[in-house]
Amino acid sequence: MLVSGCSHAAGSEIDGTQDSEYNRQHSFGNLVAKNLGYDPVNICQVGFTNSGIARSIIEYTLTQKKPDFVLVAWTDSIRVEAPYYRSSNYEKSNPAIDWFDNSCKDYLRISMLNTAIAVEEEREQVLDFQSFTIRNEYYTEINNMLHMLNLQSFLKLHDIPYMMVSTNYMLQKMHSTVRWYFKLVDALRFPKFDDNTENFYPKYKNLGYENPKAKYYHHGEDAHLDYSNYITNYIKENNLLENV
């Protein structure tokens, strides 16, 4: 079972570190795989964007092997990738990853929440993309919908069973131009995709779950266990292991 997502799906800070074998083994994706009898292949990356998540699944399928099942864990819609001339070393922050998608090295990852830009030569491009994204939020949401729909089509084309969830605030601007795309979403395989309160981080935050080991807003082992049970039961109850 292939699992792709950001740090939340990698289990970051379960043990207080950004990435470790323990974190990934106790992340909700790996737990779901074990519940269903699969070997988990966790290719989640700290700081991953939705475009990177989609591309990593496609790249793995085309260059490694066809997965038996894919769990897609989308992240914030305000994270974007910008093509960049210099290779970015994201492997360093993901030492426990099961497989690393080298295509992500060609991009800068830009978050609207990160205003401290460590590398001076990246500053102009980062600030430019941050400004564009803030001024064009509907466009950003539509772009995220397109990544989701493109991956949905790819998985269906290749007869790969899957389920999609969100770990953070993927869709925030419920404008009519964004909502137009909702009718194209396979809502059975992406339940409650338009309800941020059901997404992993806000859901368990609202339920009062706390991780005293975390510095960067990540849940602990208890939230991952509970969420894995929800996903496992949903997959079984809706026969999602069958071909799409």
Q: The tokens of 61 are what? A: 């399928």
Q: What is the pLDDT of residue 110?
A: 83
What lies within 8 Å, CB to CB, of 130 at 6+ separation is 110, 112
Q: Looking at the domain assignment, is residue 119 inside a domain?
A: no
Is residue 63 in some structural domain?
yes
Residues 155, 159, 162: CA angle, nearest 5 degrees: 55
Q: How many residues does the chain have?
A: 244
Residue 6 pLDDT > 70, yes or no? yes
Q: Which of 12-16, 128-132, 190-194, 213-217 has the lowest mean pLDDT?
A: 128-132
Residue that wins the pLDDT comparison between 175 and 239:
239
CB 109 within 8 A of CB 6: no
pLDDT bin (cut points 50, 70, 90) of residue 204 is very high
CATH number of the domain enclosing 161: 3.40.50.1110
Average pLDDT over residues 36-51: 97
Residue 132 lies in a domain: no
Q: Is 143 inside a domain boundary? A: yes
In a domain, 109, yes or no: no
Residue 65 inside a domain? The answer is: yes
Q: Is there a contact between 189 and 153 (Cβ–Cβ < 8 Å)?
A: no
34 assigned to some structural domain: yes
Identify the domain containing residue 155 by its residue range: 2-79+93-100+137-237
Please state the domain count of the chain: 1
H or E element, residue 71: strand 70-74
Place 61 in a pLDDT band, splitting at 50, 70 and 90.
very high
- Residue 138, number of CB atoms within 10 A of its CB: 13
Q: DSSP alpha helices (H): ranges in 66-220?
A: 123-135, 137-157, 176-179, 200-206
**Using CA atoms, how far apart are residues 98 and 121, in angstroms rounded to an integer?**
31
Pairing of strands 162-166, 70-74: parallel
Number of H helices, E strands in the chain: 9, 6
More confident residue, 227 or 77: 227
**Mean pLDDT for the chain overall:** 92
Cα separation, 206 vs 199, in Å, equals 11
pLDDT at 114: 62
The band of 243, judged by pLDDT with boundaries at 50, 70 and 90, is confident
36 contacts 21 by C-beta, under 8 angstroms: no
Residue 121 resides in a domain:
no
Q: What CA–CA distance (Å, rounded) separates 64 from 62?
A: 6
Question: Which residues lie across from 209 on neighbouring strands?
Answer: none
Give me the pLDDT at residue 137, please.
83
Give the residue, 98 or 109, on which the prediction is more confident. 98
Percent of the chain scoring above 70 in pLDDT? 96
How crowded is the C-beta side of 4, counted as CA atoms within 13 Å?
25
